[in-house]
Amino acid sequence: MKTTIVLLLIALISSISLTSSIQGQSIYTAVQIGNQGGPNEPSICVNPKNTNQIVAGANTDKVYRSSNGGLNWVFSTLTSTYQVWGDPCIIADTNGHFYYFHLVNGAGFIDRMGAQKSTNAGANWSAGTFWQFNPPKQQDKEWAIVDFTHGSRGNWIYVTWTEFDNYGSYNSADSSRILFARSTDAGATFTGITRLSKLGGNCVDEDYTVEGAVPAVGPNGEIYVAWSGPMGLNSFKIFFDRSTDGGTTWLANDIVAANHAGGWDLGAGTVNGLGVLGIYRGNGMPVTVCDISNGPNRGTVYINYLDSVGTKDRDVKLVKSTNGGLNWSAPIRINDDAAGKEQFFTWMTIDQVTGYLYCVFYDRRNYTTAQTDVYLARSTNGGSTWINERISPSPFTPTAQTFFGDYNNISAHNGVIRPIWIRLESGALSVWTSMINIPVGLNQISTEIPDSYSLHQNFPNPFNPSTKISFDVPSGNNSSVSLKIYDAAGRLTEVLLDQKLNPGTYEYEWNAAGKPSGVYFYTLESVNSGSKFVSTKKMILVK
């Protein structure tokens, strides 16, 4: 009986034709979102209620929307009561409504904060909500997050930013500070404006200015914020603050989460300069996220930043806290290349379904010039180790005369990962994403390249209700890899995986809670350069 079933399975899957294509130097398909008007400083958000709906933005007033997961995009411009003035931040709430946060040029240069709401996936936007009109002070670098904790504060919105007494001033009497506000009415109003940074900075908008405040929400509605700033002469730190009552009160003293060697401002990149070669202005501001998934790292707070201590050898770093920010780990290096290469413009997000971390950054590990790739790093074990993948279709070479903005961005939900970045080609800027879909349950456990395909016995076996299936993918793979489950009669019951994979060893955790007890078979298949690999093994579900 066993032999008959195996032969049946082999015959069945041999009739399936797997077709896919590699785009450039990455296994993922890259998509140009738009190139209208020289976009820079992009933001992107995947709707957690419907991952086919994605909204993106770019300086200063550009809007892009997709209804098919990012394959196709519609372009428009954002208008409001006052002039939209850049620093786009796109988020979505628990109802699937999108918000576009931005700077405002009203009565004067960046004189207030603004947010506009869309209830139809970015097709139309409200006239806007505005706050912190506090002339002659100026507002800059806002970021926002929705409280998804579903308690009494569920769907509240928190926003943090930098306020300047006089932007660009060298006067020692002028300072900068990190501010916080919240909306308890789905973005209609923003109140509760509070100063977070106990230590201020100057107004030059360089290392001695406090910048980079990105809020995160914890599993019990905690609010976490980190930013970069000075703590004395030539001493720069990443500071951390938190609130456990919806932003009403905060810590009496900010916590130092990490040294920020070299500060957040990387400067301009000239041949003999200290900045990133070819980049008009670079930075390594921190990004804060917190795990509110039901995974093993629930409640862990992470801060991603760029360590700029080594000129022309900057690294993407991470520190984490498992006790609400009271204590922090030693820095963890995210980029896995050898020392001596440059990484810059980092941003991190977390998939709150899986608890997996994703980080996007520019990377020059493959070149000795200003040629630049885009890399995605992911961690499935709470940031302890990272897998790096090149996701750009080909390298590009930036020039110091072209402004890229101050950040790229990334969004992820339920295995749908959409990074966004800026590319310069033939003198023109364009904004891009990559179609990265990683099935929930799939985990790359090794980047060591196997000699051949191999399917391993599941463990545990027998099992109830979950088991892990591991397999190897060798180099030279240019086709999709499929992993499928069949019942004892040879009927296909579930497709766990059908996509391209980088070389390495993978593990898929299959949850059979909804399946009846009995014998099952799992099959790994790939067609590569005309040759087919097929392997089938038996497993037993006992309830």
Same domain, residue pair 369 and 487: no
d(CA 93, CA 463): 38
Same domain, residue pair 287 and 251: no
Helix residue ranges per DSSP H, 448-501 = none
C-alpha radius of gyration, the chain, whole number: 24
Residue-wise pLDDT for 30-59, tens only, equals: 999 999 999 999 999 999 999 999 999 999
The answer to which of 3-17, 152-166, 441-455, 518-532 has the lowest mean pLDDT is 3-17
Asked whether residue 500 is domain-assigned, the answer is yes
Same domain, residue pair 380 and 485: no
pLDDT at position 14: 29
Q: How many domains does the chain have?
A: 3
Asked whether residue 131 is domain-assigned, the answer is no
d(CA 387, CA 473): 15
Same domain, residue pair 288 and 256: no
d(CA 255, CA 232): 15
> pLDDT category, 11, cuts 50, 70, 90?
very low
Write out the two tokens for 378: 């992911």
pLDDT of residue 15 exceeding 50, the answer is no
Same domain, residue pair 306 and 402: yes
Residue-wise pLDDT for 238-252, tens only, equals: 999 999 999 999 999
Beta bridge partners of 534: 525
The answer to which of 1-10, 273-282, 520-529 has the lowest mean pLDDT is 1-10
> pLDDT category, 183, cuts 50, 70, 90?
very high
Same domain, residue pair 340 and 385: yes
Domain final residue, candidates 236, 260, 284:
260
Asked whether residue 449 is domain-assigned, the answer is yes
**Residue appearing with tokens 């869309």:** 118
> pLDDT category, 277, cuts 50, 70, 90?
confident
Residue-wise pLDDT for 370-424, tens only, equals: 999 999 999 999 999 999 999 999 999 999 889 999 999 999 999 999 999 999 9
pLDDT of residue 476 exceeding 90, the answer is no
Residue-wise pLDDT for 283-296, tens only, equals: 899 999 999 999 99
Cα separations in angstroms, 81 against 56, 78, 106, 163, 475 = 21, 11, 9, 22, 55
DSSP code, position 246: T
Domain final residue, candidates 218, 235, 260:
260
pLDDT at position 311: 67
pLDDT at position 3: 32
Residue-wise pLDDT for 428-443, tens only, equals: 999 999 999 999 899 9
d(CA 130, CA 101): 10
Contact 333/388 with Cβ under 8 angstroms? no
pLDDT > 70: percent of the chain: 93
Give Cβ neighbours of residue 443 (< 8 Å, ≥ 6 apart): 380, 506, 507, 508, 509
Asked whether residue 56 is domain-assigned, the answer is no
Give all strands (DSSP E) within 364-465, no chain letters: 373-379, 387-390, 409-413, 416-425, 428-437, 442-446, 454-455
Same domain, residue pair 299 and 392: yes
Residue type present at position 415: G
> pLDDT category, 268, cuts 50, 70, 90?
low
Burial (CB count <10 Å: 0-12, 13-18, 19+), residue 220: exposed
Asked whether residue 98 is domain-assigned, the answer is no
Same domain, residue pair 186 and 290: no
Write out the two tokens for 79: 């208008």
Residue-wise pLDDT for 213-263, tens only, equals: 999 999 999 999 999 999 999 899 999 999 999 999 999 999 999 999 889
Asked whether residue 91 is domain-assigned, the answer is no
Contact 267/282 with Cβ under 8 angstroms? yes
d(CA 354, CA 358): 11
Same domain, residue pair 388 and 467: no
pLDDT of residue 19 exceeding 90, the answer is no
pLDDT at position 267: 73
Q: Taking all residues of the chain, what is their mean pLDDT, rounded to a whole number?
A: 91
d(CA 351, CA 57): 20
Q: How many residues does the chain have?
A: 543
d(CA 457, CA 480): 21
pLDDT of residue 20 exceeding 70, the answer is no
pLDDT at position 479: 75
d(CA 154, CA 94): 8
What is the domain-level CATH number for residue 8?
Answer: 2.60.40.10
Same domain, residue pair 274 and 391: yes
The domain in which residue 273 lies consists of 268-319+328-410
Q: Which of 87, 64, 62 is nearest to 77 (CA)?
A: 62
d(CA 413, CA 411): 7
Phi, psi of 127 (to 5 degrees): -65, -25
> pLDDT category, 276, cuts 50, 70, 90?
confident
What is the pairing mode between strands 223-230 and 211-217? antiparallel
Asked whether residue 401 is domain-assigned, the answer is yes
Domain final residue, candidates 260, 278, 304:
260
Same domain, residue pair 287 and 406: yes
Same domain, residue pair 311 and 388: yes
pLDDT at position 318: 98
Strand order in the sheet with 504-511: 442-446, 504-511, 466-473, 454-455
Asked whether residue 537 is domain-assigned, the answer is yes
